[in-house]
Structure 1
Amino acid sequence: MENVSSLAGGQYVVASEVVTPGRKNAGRWLIQLASLGLVAIVLVQILYETGTLSWGFENWRPVLYAFLVWAAALGAGQVIIRGEAGYRALFLLPALLFTILMVIFPTVFGLYIAFTDWNLSSFAGRRFNGLENLYALVNDSFFWNALGNMIFYVLAVFVQYAIGFGLALLLNADIRARKFFRVAFLLPFMLSPVAVSWMIGKSLMEYRFGPAATLARHLGWDSPAFFTTPWIARLSIVMMDSWVWIPFVMILLLAGLQALPKELLEAAKVDGATPWQSFWNITFPLMLPVSVTAIVIRIIFQLKLADIVINVTAGGPGGATDTVSSFIFREYRDRSNVGYGTMLAEFYLILIIIFVMLLLNMVSRWMRKV
C-alpha cells in the first residue's frame, strides 16, 4: 500500500509500495498459466467441434468458465505485479473483459462458423468444410450484385447531405413558425424504418390502390409500379430511406450552424457580400468539420441498410434492390444456411472495416490540407 509521511513545514510525501521481483514473477506466472489454460480449453473445443479430436466438451460452457477464471487471474495478477497501480487498473478491467466477451469472442467464433457446413434444415449438423464457403462467396453473383447496390445507396448519402444542409439553412434563418417546422421535419426520424416501409412502401406506393400510384395515373403513368422496374425500385428505396434519415443529417448541421460566430456573417453583409458569397466563402468552410462528421456517420449507418428492403421488396425485382445485409438475412431465414451466411457476414465486416479506415484516413488528410 502507499505510505504517507509528514515532513517539516506541513508537506507530505507519498511513498509507493515496493514490489519485489519475486512477487512480480509470481504475478506473471499466474497470468501466463491462466492464459495457457484458456487457450488450451478453447483449442481443444475447436478441434473437437471440427472432428479433429474424438474427445472434448459437450458444449462451450467450459470455455466460459475458463474465461471467468482467466479474468479473475488477470485482475489478481495486475495487483500482485503492480501493487497500488494494479488496483487502479481493476477499474478498466470490466470494460476490457466486456469488449472481449461481447465483441472479440463472437467475431472469432463467427469466423469459426464461417468455415463450417451448417444448415439448420439438414440433420447432418455442423461440420468443418474448409474454404468451400469462401469459394461459394467468390462465385456468388447475387452477393456481388448486392455489394454493387451498396455503392449506389452510399452515393445517395451525398444527396441526403445536400438536402439536409438546405433544410438546416432554412431552419436556421429567421422565418415564421421556425420551431414548428423543426419539430415537423424531425418526425420521420422518430419513426421506425419498419413502420416507414409499411406506411409508405406497402400503403402509399401500393400499385393498385395506393395514393401515390393513383396520382401517378392521373399524371399519365399507365402502370405506376414502383417496385417492378430495377432502377425505379432502387430510387423508391432511396427515397424512403432518405425520408427517414435526412432529418438526422439536418439536425447535426443545424447544430453546427447555430454554433457559428454571427459576427463573421454580419461583417460580410456589411462589406456587401451576397448571400451566396457568404455561404460559399464563410459558412460552408466553417461547417466542414460538422459536414464531414455527418457524412461519415451517415455512411456507416447506410452500410447496414436492410429493414426497408426486407419489408418492401425482399431484394427484388431479381435482386435489384438487395443490400448485403438483406441478402445475408435471407440466407439465414429462407435457406437456413448458417455457415455460408456467417461467411458472408464476416467477409462484409472485413470490407466495412477496411472501407471505414480508408475513408477516415482520406478525410483526415483532406481536412489537414483544407
Structure 2
Amino acid sequence: MNRKSIDELKAGMVLASDLVAGDGRLLLRGGVKLADRHIGLLRRAGVEEAEVIPAPSVLSEAELLAVEDYVREFFLYVNPDHPAVAAMFRIALDLTAVAVAEGRRLPDPAERRAANLEHLEDIFVRGLISPEAIVRHETELAGFPDIFFRIKEILEDESASADRIAKVVSTDLSLSAKLLKLVNSPLYGFSRGIDSISRAVTLVGGKELSTLALGVSAINYFKDIPPELVDMQTFWRHSITCGVFARLLAGTQSGLSPERFFIGGLLHDVGRLILFKKLPYAATEAMLFARENCLPLVEAELSVLGLRHTDIGKPLLESWHFPEGLAAMIDYHHDPMGYPNPLEPAIIHVADNLSNAVEIARGGMYVMPGLDEEAWDILGLDPEALYEAMERYSTQIDAVLDAFL
C-alpha cells in the first residue's frame, strides 16, 4: 500500500481503504478502482490524499505478459471477440495484475494435478442411479431446518402481515443476526442502522426479506461436507459473489425483485454439494479432470459422472418445494435458453461467469463455464454495465461475506 496526494492519483489506481469526508460521509469504499470522475469527486470534497494499492503499471513487461498468459488460460472455452467476454477478460486481467503487484504468486500449473482419492468412497455406483434417487436418499437422512418451511408458508400467503413475518424470522436468532448484518451492509446502503427484524421488514419489504431468509436458512443444511473435498469458504465465496452480481444485474431490468436473484445466485450450485456428500470420489475426480484438462467444471461433470450438478439441484429444490420461479433460475443457469422464460436464468448465467472471472485473481481453479451469447443479448446491456457492476460489487462483497462467513 502507499499514500498518494490528490495530484498523484491516477485513473486505474485502486483504493486501499474507505475514504470519508470531514463530516463523516462515506465518499468511496476501499477496493474501488479509481476513474477520473472519482478523482474529481475527491477534489470537490477537499480530500488531500488517499492510500492506494500499487497499480499494475509497477509490474515489468515480463510480469504483465505472465499475468496475461495466466488469465487467458481461463478463457479457452469462450468467444474472446464477444464484447461481454472481452469486458470480463479485462476485469480478470486488472484484478490479477493488482494481486501480483501486491505480492500474490500466480499458481503453478502443477498445483492443479490430482491428489490421492483412494480414501474416498461413493455411496452409489456412477451411472446406475438417477439424480432423483440420490436426492431422495439425502433428504431421507437429513432433516431440513423447520424455519425454512415456516418462512415458505409466509411467502405463499399473500395476506401475511409484516408483524407475522418479523415474528417468524425472529424466532431463529442466528438467522436474524445474519439478516440484520445483510440489511445493514452496503448491499442495501441504508443511511441509518437497522436494529430489528420488524424495522428490516418495513424498509426492505416483507416478501423480499422472507426470500432472503429462505435462502440463508437453506445454507444451514450443508454443514457436513467433507473438508478434504472442497474448501467451503471458497465455495460460499463464489456463491455469495454470484448472488451479489445477480442482484446488481437484476437491478438493471424492470419489474424484478433483486432479493430473489441474490438467493438464486447464492444457491446456484447446491446440486454440487449433494454430489460431494453422495459421490465424493466421483465428484473429486470430476474436479481434478477439469483442472488437469482446462475444462469447464460443468463439462467435466458430464464427462466423468454422466450428469451435471444442475441435474441434482433440480430434484433437490423440488423436494424442498422451493418457489418455482426461484428454482427455475437455478436449474437452468447453465442453459438459460432452454427455459420458456429465459431472462431470469440468464441473469444467474451471466453473474456466474462474471464471478468466475473475478475469482481468477484469487487463484481460481476452473476455466470460465462459457457465456451463452443469446442469454447476454436478452439482458440488453452494454458491456460497460459489467464494469459498473464490478465497481459496486467491490464496495459490498466484504460486508456481505462477513454476514455469512
Q: What interval of TM-score do these two structures reach, taking the shorter chain for normalisation?
A: under 0.3
TM-score, normalising length: structure 1: 0.28
Greater C-alpha Rg:
1
TM-score, normalising length: structure 2: 0.26
**Structure (1 or 2) with the greater helix fraction:** 1
